[in-house]
Structure 1
C-alpha cells in the first residue's frame, strides 16, 4: 500500500512551489523512496519505484535532460523533479513530450527551494505511510488468524477506513522463480505491480506476505473490478520472465468472517499450482471445494487407493495406459461408441478394455454408481 506520486506531492505547490509539467497520467505511480542523483548513470543507484531529484549539474549539452529522463524511466522511476536554476534553466518540449508518453510525472521546483528540505519531508511521509501499512496488515492478519481480541482488531481497521461490513476478496499469489537469491526482489516486484493495478481501480486494499505467498486483500471491489484486476495483471505481466499463479477467494462482506474467506484463497492457490493454471477462483472449484475442505487427507488417499490404486500400479508395471483410457471414457459420458470413434478403435476393443479395468479394480465401469466412484477418484488424484 505504498504512497502514490499524486498524494506525495499533493501540497507541493504550496509548500515547495512545485509545478507539474508532464506525466499527469502517472500520478498513481507508487513511490517507495526518494533520491537526489546528479550522476547520469542512474541505474546503479535505483531499484525502481523511486522519486528522483536533480539540479542538472551534468547538464552540459542540449539533449542531456532527455537522455537522463529515458534512463530514469528504464530504471523504473515513479517521478522526477528538476531544480530549476543555474544548471538547468528550463525544461525543453521534447522532455515534456517524452514524460507524457511514458506517463512519468515531471515536476520542477525553483532554485530557492532546497532539495534536501523537500526530500526530508518526502522520506518522512513515506515512512509514515509504511507504518500505517504495516499496522493495517498486522491487524487483518490478527483477524484472519484469530490473534488478540476480535472486536478491538475490528475497531482498529475501522479507524483506517475499513468498515466491519466491508466486502473482502483475497488474492493469494505464488511465483515459480523462488530461489533464495531472487525471492525478495521478485516478491517486491509483485507487490508494486499488483498494488499499482489495484490502486488504479479502487482506493482500499491491503497487502502482506504469508509464507511463500504474496497476498492482496481487495476491499469493496465489485466482482467486475476483481475480474478487471486479474485481466490487467496477466495482460501486462509478460514483461517478466517468471510465471505467477493466483488463488482467489469469494467476495464476502463482514470483516469478522474473513478467516474462512482467506482459507478459500489458499485452497484456490493450491489448485492453481497443482494444475499449473494462472488463476483459479474458489467459486469455480465445484466438487473440488468438498475435497479440498476435507480435514482428513488420509481418508481421501485411502479412497483413491481403493478405487484407482490398483489400476495405476498395473499401468506402471505393464507400461499400459488404462488410467488414461478410463478417464477419456468417463469424459465421453461412458459412451462406448463415442470412445471407439474418438480413439479410432473397434467397439469390441473398448468393451475388452473396460472388462480388463473391471478385473483389475473390482469396479464395473459400465455401472452408473461405479462411474461416479471412478470420477471421484480422478478428482482426488488432481489434488493429491
Structure 2
C-alpha cells in the first residue's frame, strides 16, 4: 500500500520543493492514483485515493472560500492529498484559515512551484505506485509459498531479505475476516498501516488476501503490544463501519519457516473459536484445552498444558506431603461433590475442606468457578495420555 507520506521521501519531489503545509495527521492516507483537477465538479468523477495536482486555472482559488470549498469537496470524495502549484495570479497563497480547515479534516495539503511540470508529477506518482504494486504482488507470492507450499528455505530467506524482512526473528500469522473482504480490504489494511506508522513499534509485516480472509504475516512484538495494535485496528474500523463484522485470529509466533504453516493453522483455529461480537479477537495460546483438540498436539505440548493447570498443586503436594492431586482428581470425578468425595476417600468432611483450601491457594483460583472446574477436568483427562 502506498501512503501520502511515501512521496515526501521521493527524490524528484525533494528536488522540486514539495512542501507539506497542512494535514500532517493524514499522511497515512492511501494513494491509488494521481489526477489533475481543472473543473469545478472534478469531485464527481473521483473514485477515492487520488493524489490531486491543481494549478487553479479557471477555478478562482484566489478567493479563500472557493479554496476551502474545493478542499472540502475533494476530502468528501476520498482524496488522499492535494498539491497546489502556487502562482501570483491563480493561487497566490494558502491562508491560515485554509490551513486550519485542512488540519481539522486531516487532509494533507502540499505546495509546489508553478514551473513544475504536471506530466513529470503524474509520471513520478504513477511510477512509484506501479513499482509498489509489483513489490506487493511479489511479497504476496512469497507469503503464499511460505504458508501453502514446500518452499525452499534458502530461497525464502533470500527473497524475504531482499524485501526487507529478517526471518531470523519471530513472526506470527494473524487472520482478519470481514463480511465483505473485497469491499473492506483496503479499509482494514489502511488502518493497520496507520496504527503501525503512528506508533513507535518496529513492526515489519506482509499482507495477503486469501479467499475471504486477510492474512497478516507480522513480526512478533509481544502479546500485549500485538493485542493493542489489532484492538486499535478493530476500533478504528468499527467506528467507520459499525454494522460490519470484523474478527481477528492470532497464531503463535515462530522463528523457522517450516513452522509458519502451523501459525497459520493456529490463527484459523483461533478465528473459529470466536462466537460473538463481544469477542472479536482470539489468541491461539489462550484457547486452553480447545487448542489441544484442534491441533495434532505432541506429548510435550499436552504435558505443558497439564502442568500449567496442575503444576502448582503438584509442587504444594511435594512440600506438604498431602495427596492433593489424588484429592482433586476424586473431587472432579464426583462432579465436585464434597460429601461423595469425602466418602470415597475415607476421610472426614473437614479434612477434605482443608485439602480443598490448600488446592485453591496453590491454584490462586476458586474451585467454585465454572471455568476453573472445566480446566481441571480437561487437565486430568489429558494427564492419562502423558507420562509424568
Output the TM-score relative to the length of structure 2: 0.70
Give the corresponding residue for 2:300.
none
Q: Does 1:7 align with 2:9?
A: no
8 Å CA contact retained: 1:30, 1:196: no
8 Å CA contact retained: 1:55, 1:84: yes
Query: How far apart are the structure 1 equivalents of 2:296 and 2:72?
Result: 54
Query: How far apart are the structure 2 equivalents of 1:175 and 1:88?
Result: 44
Give the corresponding residue for 2:240.
239
Q: Does 1:17 align with 2:17?
A: yes
Q: Does 1:58 align with 2:23?
A: no
Q: Does 1:226 align with 2:236?
A: no
Give the corresponding residue for 2:84.
82
Q: How far 1:170 sits from its partner (Å)?
A: 1.9
Q: Which moved more, 1:142-151 or 1:125-134?
A: 142-151
Corresponding residue to 1:132 among 101, 114, 135: 135
List alignment gaps of at least 5 residues for structure 2.
Answer: 298-331, 340-372, 379-388
Query: How far apart are the structure 2 equivalents of 1:43 and 1:294?
Result: 55
Query: How far apart are the structure 2 equivalents of 1:106 and 1:282?
Result: 43
8 Å CA contact retained: 2:49, 2:79: yes
Q: Secondary structure at the match of 1:174?
A: strand
8 Å CA contact retained: 2:54, 2:83: yes
* Cα displacement string for residues 197-232 of structure 1 (whole angstroms, at most 9, x for unaligned residues): 233344511111111101122225333331221221
Q: Does 1:212 align with 2:215?
A: no
Query: How far apart are the structure 2 equivalents of 1:77 and 1:160?
Result: 29
Q: Secondary structure at the match of 2:267?
A: helix
1:43-54 aligned within 5 A:
43-54=43-54
Q: Does 1:165 align with 2:164?
A: no
Q: Does 1:106 align with 2:109?
A: yes
Q: How far 1:52 sits from its partner (Å)?
A: 1.4
Give the corresponding residue for 1:191.
189
Q: How far 1:59 sits from its partner (Å)?
A: 2.5
Q: How far 1:129 sits from its partner (Å)?
A: 1.0
Query: How far apart are the structure 1 equivalents of 2:233 and 2:128?
Result: 28
Q: Secondary structure at the match of 1:38?
A: coil
8 Å CA contact retained: 1:3, 1:32: yes
1:313-352 aligned within 5 A:
none
Q: How far 1:335 sits from its partner (Å)?
A: 6.3
8 Å CA contact retained: 1:168, 1:255: no
Give the corresponding residue for 2:353.
none
Query: How far apart are the structure 2 equivalents of 1:36 and 1:273?
Result: 48
Change (3 A) 1:290 1:217: same
8 Å CA contact retained: 1:245, 1:279: yes
8 Å CA contact retained: 1:51, 1:77: yes
8 Å CA contact retained: 2:36, 2:53: yes
* Cα displacement string for residues 281-320 of structure 1 (whole angstroms, at most 9, x for unaligned residues): 111111110122259xxxxxxxxxxxxxxxxxxxxxxxxx
Q: How far 1:118 sits from its partner (Å)?
A: 0.6
* Cα displacement string for residues 163-220 of structure 1 (whole angstroms, at most 9, x for unaligned residues): 12122122211112x3xxxx52222322322233233344511111111101122225
Change (3 A) 1:193 1:294: same
Q: Secondary structure at the match of 1:165?
A: coil
8 Å CA contact retained: 1:166, 1:255: no
8 Å CA contact retained: 1:223, 1:251: no
Change (3 A) 1:69 1:12: farther
Give the corresponding residue for 2:123.
120
1:242-281 aligned within 5 A:
242-272=244-274, 277-281=279-283
Query: How far apart are the structure 1 equivalents of 2:33 and 2:44?
Result: 15
8 Å CA contact retained: 2:28, 2:193: no
Query: How far apart are the structure 2 equivalents of 1:172 and 1:222?
Result: 17
**Root-mean-square deviation over aligned CA pairs:** 2.9
Change (3 A) 1:272 1:159: same
Q: Which moved more, 1:53-62 or 1:279-288?
A: 53-62
List alignment gaps of at least 5 residues for structure 1.
Answer: 296-329, 338-370, 377-384
Query: How far apart are the structure 2 equivalents of 1:258 and 1:135?
Result: 18
Change (3 A) 1:3 1:67: same
* Off by >6 Å, runs of 4+ in structure 1: none
